[in-house]
A = this chain, B = another copy of it.
Amino acid sequence: MRTIKMNPSPTISDVAKAAGVSTATVSRAFSRPEMLREETVIQVRFHATRLGYLPNLAARALSTGRQGNIAIVVPDIANPFFPPLLKAAQTAADLAGYSVFLGDSDEDPEREQRLVNKLVMQVEGFILASSRMPNKQILELSERQSVVLINRDTPGLPRVLIDTVAGINAAVAHLAELGHRSLVYISGPAASWSDQQRRSAVSSAAVLHKMKLESVHARHPSFDAGREITSAVIGMDVTAAITFDDFVAHGLLAGLAEQGVVVPRDFSVIGCDDVLGASTYPALTSVSARCDEAGRMAADLLMSNLQMDKRDDTRCLLETWLVVRDTTAPAPDSSLSRAKKKAHPKSAIGTPGVMRMRSTV
């Protein structure tokens, strides 16, 4: 353990001195080399690399107003829905020469606002994924900065939406086809656009198929919350559940198993987001989407807005589909009572928006 002084990085004027030119020439050797004699550029670059010179982006930002940074804010990095999205966005940004700040709001609107404030002067734009901030604050922000939203449908702003309506419709149709006459929707965060969309999609699909619809709220999109609402679900006289996300579904599966309810024989479960994939047991039927695609598109949208110096309000929908695995089966004779297990009807294969997957384990 020792006190140290980091050797200060060489600056543009160190390089200038070494190369026997002015700082302006050094600057141009990097940012506008076509203005200089080729020989000069080579000289300057030579001394720069020899000294280990790296341009100070903060200083550059100060004079150009272009930071070369963007920020991505998500409600919960640890939710597997986001990492692929983050990765894709970061890759796209990197390709365009941008660096990315990461913010985790922990599902808290105030913390999200504080994060945004801390970052706003250091970035050229924001990607807000599943933002929990009120519309007013988002619009305010968008007057200073380019903003692209993911899974939040605020008119006037560019946004990438994972359109679960198709997937949910397929899910409800799938249940109806299996003979279910009732289901429960287990809802997620109230501030979540996705939850609102899913809730209303389930609702109208239930009407269409003349199914009885109940609803329960999971206090948090997590395994534990899913397990907690199990008793409520069991007491509800329904034969199937569609949950806000895969975690709630996973928790519910665990809760049902504990109570001796056999899935899918006694009860069918469908998740959303398809992030657990085939790794649950039984392998979870889920509404799936390319969430990495959402990240990439949002980043590209932001980047192109920055380069064009314009603002559009593209509303970009990403399609979803149902992946049928092993948690859905024909309805039992009565809700949550024993029923003989039947094979999955083959009719599900080939239905539009439905994909039958072989369980991987």
Inter-chain contact B99/A101, CB cutoff 8 Å: yes
Give 1 or 0 for each of A305-349: 1 = CB within 8 Å of chain B CB.
Answer: 000011111000000000000000000000000000000000000
Looking at the complex, which of A84-92, A160-168, A191-199, A233-241 is the stretch in contact with chain B?
A: A84-92
Asked if A58 contacts B62 (CB within 8 A), the reply is yes
- A100 close to B101 (CB less than 8 A): yes
In this complex, the member of A55, A59, A102, A117 whose beta carbon has the largest number of chain B beta carbons within 10 angstroms is A102
Whether a CB of chain B sits under 8 angstroms from the CB of A17 is: no
This protein's copies in its complex: 2
How far, in angstroms, from A104 to B257 measured CA to CA in the complex? 39
- Which single member of B78, B257, B281 contacts A87 (CB below 8 Å)? B78
Chain B residues in 8 Å Cβ range of A121: 9, 54-58
Interface membership of A118, Cβ < 8 A: yes
B144 touches A7 (CB 8 A): yes
Which of A87, A103, A360 has the largest count of B CB atoms less than 10 A from its CB?
A: A360
CB distance from A315 to the nearest CB of B (A): 12
Contacts of A312 in B (CB 8 A): 1
A345 to chain B, nearest CB (A): 24
Interface residues of A in 264-304 (CB under 8 A from B): 276, 279-283
Q: Is the CB of B104 within 8 A of A54?
A: no
Q: Assess the A253–B361 pair: CB atoms within 8 A.
A: yes
Asked if A117 meets B311 with Cβ closer than 8 Å, knowing A77-B83, A83-B78, A361-B253, the reply is: no
Q: Is the CB–CB distance between A58 and B102 below 8 Å? A: no
Does A14 sit within 8 A of B, measured CB to CB? no
Minimum C-beta distance from A289 to chain B (A): 15
CA distance A206 to B121 in the complex (A): 56
Q: Which residues of B contact A276 (CB under 8 A)?
A: 279
* CB within 8 Å for A310 and B104 given contacts A122-B58, A279-B279, A361-B253: no
Structural contact, B102 and A102, CB atoms closer than 8 A? yes
A7-B143, A310-B1 known; A102 vs B90 contact (CB < 8 Å): yes
Give bound CA distance, A121 to B120, whole Å.
Answer: 19
Query: Is A6 close to B, CB under 8 A?
Result: yes
* A203 within 8 Å of B (CB atoms): no
- 11 additional contacts, CB 8 Å, given A7-B144, A9-B144, A250-B279? A3-B309, A57-B121, A58-B67, A78-B84, A82-B83, A87-B104, A90-B104, A94-B115, A254-B361, A279-B280, A280-B281
Task: Name 15 A/B residue pairs within 8 A (Cβ), A-sorted.
Answer: A1-B312, A2-B310, A4-B311, A6-B143, A9-B121, A69-B122, A76-B87, A90-B103, A91-B104, A99-B103, A99-B119, A101-B102, A276-B279, A281-B281, A281-B282
Q: Which residues on A are within 8 Å of B, measured CB to CB?
A: 1-4, 6-7, 9, 54-59, 61-62, 67, 69, 72, 76-78, 80, 82-84, 86-87, 90-91, 94, 99-104, 106, 115, 117-122, 143-146, 223, 250, 253-254, 257, 276, 279-283, 309-313, 360-361
